[in-house]
Structure 1
Amino acid sequence: MQEIRINLFSPDGQKTVSWTQKGKNLREVIAVSNQDPGGSCGGRGICGKCKIRVSGILNPLTEQEKEFLLPDELKQGIRLACFSTIQGPLDVYLDYAPAQEIKTAGKIRQYRFKPLVQTQTFFIKGLDKSDPRPLLKRITDALPEFDVSITPHNLNELVKLDREGRPSIELKALVVDGQTVKYIGREKRSLYGIALDIGTTSLFAYLADLENGEVISAASATNMQRVYGSDIISRISYSLEKEEGLEELHRILISNINSLMADLLQQNDLVANDLIKIMVVGNPVMLHLFLGLNLNGFASTPYTGLFLDAMPMKASTAEIEARKDADLILLPQVGGFVGADTIACLLIIPPRVRRFLLVDIGTNGEMVLADGKKTWSASTAAGPAFEGGRISSGMRAGPGAVDKVFFSDDGRIGFNIIGNGQVKGICGSGLIDLIAVLRQGEYIDEFGTIDQNRSFDDNIKLESLKEDLGLIIHDAEKGESLVITQQDIRELQMAKAAIRTGIDILLQQAGMSFDELEAIYLAGAFGNVLQKTSCVDIGLIPPTSRDNLDKIINIGNAAAEGALKALLSDTALAEARAWQTRINYIELANQETFQDLFINNINLK
Structure 2
Amino acid sequence: MIGRRINLSERIKITVIEEIDKERADGKESGWEETDRKETVTKENHRKETVLLHDVGKTLLYTLREGGIKLPSLCGSIGKCGRCQVKFRGQTPLPSQADRALIAPDKLREGYRLACMARPRKNCTVETAFAQEAEIHVVVGSSERNLWKRDRCGNPCEKKDAAGMDIAVAVDIGTTTIAMQLIQMESGHVLDTYTCMNPQRSYGEDVVSRIRAGAGGEGERLQHLVREALATGLGRMLERNGQNRNDREETAEDGNPGKPKLMVISANTVMGHLFMGYPVESLGRSPFLPVNTKTVSLNFLGIPTVLIPGISAFVGGDIVSGLYACGLYPAMAATGMPMEKAWLFLDLGTNAEMVIGKGNRIACTAAAAGPAFEGRGKQGKAGSKQIEAIAFLLEKGIADREGLLKEPYFETGIEVELDDKKEKIQIFQQDIRDIQMAKAAVRAGIYFLMKKLGIKDDEIERVYVAGGFGFYLKKKAAVEIGLIPAGLGEKMETVGNTSLAGAKMIGMKSLLGVCFELEALTQDAEAFQLADEPLFEEKYIEYINF
Q: What TM-score do you get using the length of structure 2 for normalisation?
A: 0.74
2:253 aligns to what? none
Change (3 A) 1:565 1:78: farther
Which whole-Å deviations, capped at 9, do the CAs of 1:31-72 have from their partners, x for residues lacking one?
A: 5677764452123332234578x8988948959657656899
Residues of 2 paired with 1:234 and 1:444: CA distance?
Answer: 33
State the Cα distance separating 1:291 from its structure 2 match.
Answer: 1.0
Which letter does structure 1 place at the counterpart of 2:229? Answer: N
3-state secondary structure, aligned to 1:21: strand
2:484 aligns to what? 541
Q: Which runs of 5+ in 2 are unaligned?
A: 1-11, 29-47, 153-162, 247-258, 332-338
- Aligned: 1:558 with 2:498: yes
Residues of 2 paired with 1:279 and 1:83: CA distance?
Answer: 39
1:182-331 equivalence runs, <5 A: 191-210=166-185, 213-240=188-215, 242=216, 244-273=217-246, 274-315=259-300, 321=301, 323=302, 326-331=303-308
Change (3 A) 1:226 1:489: same
Which letter does structure 1 place at the counterpart of 2:346? Answer: V
Residues of 1 paired with 2:277 and 2:523: CA distance?
Answer: 26
Residues of 2 paired with 1:562 and 1:271: CA distance?
Answer: 26
State the Cα distance separating 1:302 from its structure 2 match.
Answer: 2.3
1:93 aligns to what? 130
Residues of 1 paired with 2:82 and 2:137: CA distance?
Answer: 29
State the Cα distance separating 1:381 from its structure 2 match.
Answer: 1.9
Whether the aligned pair in 1 keeps the contact of 2:168 and 2:261 (CA below 8 Å) is: yes
1:41 aligns to what? 75
3-state secondary structure, aligned to 2:346: strand
Residues of 2 paired with 1:80 and 1:439: CA distance?
Answer: 38
Residues of 2 paired with 1:237 and 1:267: CA distance?
Answer: 37
- Aligned: 1:581 with 2:526: no
Whether the aligned pair in 1 keeps the contact of 2:186 and 2:508 (CA below 8 Å) is: no
Residues of 2 paired with 1:277 and 1:18: CA distance?
Answer: 42
Whether the aligned pair in 2 keeps the contact of 1:56 and 1:89 (CA below 8 Å) is: yes
Residues of 1 paired with 2:90 and 2:245: CA distance?
Answer: 41
- Aligned: 1:21 with 2:52: yes
Which letter does structure 2 place at the counterpart of 1:237? Answer: R
3-state secondary structure, aligned to 1:384: coil
Which letter does structure 1 place at the counterpart of 2:384? Answer: S
Query: Identity percentage over the alignment?
Result: 28
State the Cα distance separating 1:366 from its structure 2 match.
Answer: 0.9
- Aligned: 1:593 with 2:535: yes
Which letter does structure 1 place at the counterpart of 2:378? Answer: A
State the Cα distance separating 1:511 from its structure 2 match.
Answer: 1.4
Residues of 2 paired with 1:314 and 1:501: CA distance?
Answer: 41
Whether the aligned pair in 1 keeps the contact of 2:138 and 2:468 (CA below 8 Å) is: no
Whether the aligned pair in 1 keeps the contact of 2:18 and 2:129 (CA below 8 Å) is: yes
Which whole-Å deviations, capped at 9, do the CAs of 1:297-340 have from their partners, x for residues lacking one?
A: 2122221112122122222xxxxx2x3xx311111211231111
Q: Which runs of 5+ in 1 are unaligned?
A: 114-187, 316-320, 389-394, 404-426, 464-469
Which whole-Å deviations, capped at 9, do the CAs of 1:256-303 have from their partners, x for residues lacking one?
A: 222222222222222223133111111111111111111232122221
Whether the aligned pair in 2 keeps the contact of 1:102 and 1:264 (CA below 8 Å) is: no
Relative contact order higher in (CA < 8 Å, ≥ 6 apart): 2
State the Cα distance separating 1:248 from its structure 2 match.
Answer: 2.4
1:374 aligns to what? 361
Whether the aligned pair in 2 keeps the contact of 1:332 and 1:580 (CA below 8 Å) is: yes
- Name the stretch that deviates more: 103-112 or 369-378: 103-112
Match among 519, 529, 537 for residue 462 of structure 2 = 519
Change (3 A) 1:490 1:5: closer
Change (3 A) 1:9 1:383: same
Change (3 A) 1:3 1:74: closer
Residues of 2 paired with 1:104 and 1:559: CA distance?
Answer: 11
State the Cα distance separating 1:361 from its structure 2 match.
Answer: 0.8
Residues of 2 paired with 1:67 and 1:237: CA distance?
Answer: 23
Residues of 2 paired with 1:498 and 1:514: CA distance?
Answer: 18
State the Cα distance separating 1:563 from its structure 2 match.
Answer: 0.7
Whether the aligned pair in 2 keeps the contact of 1:500 and 1:540 (CA below 8 Å) is: yes
Whether the aligned pair in 2 keeps the contact of 1:363 and 1:385 (CA below 8 Å) is: yes
State the Cα distance separating 1:475 from its structure 2 match.
Answer: 5.9
Bigger Rg, which one:
1
Match among 299, 306, 309 for residue 332 of structure 1 = 309
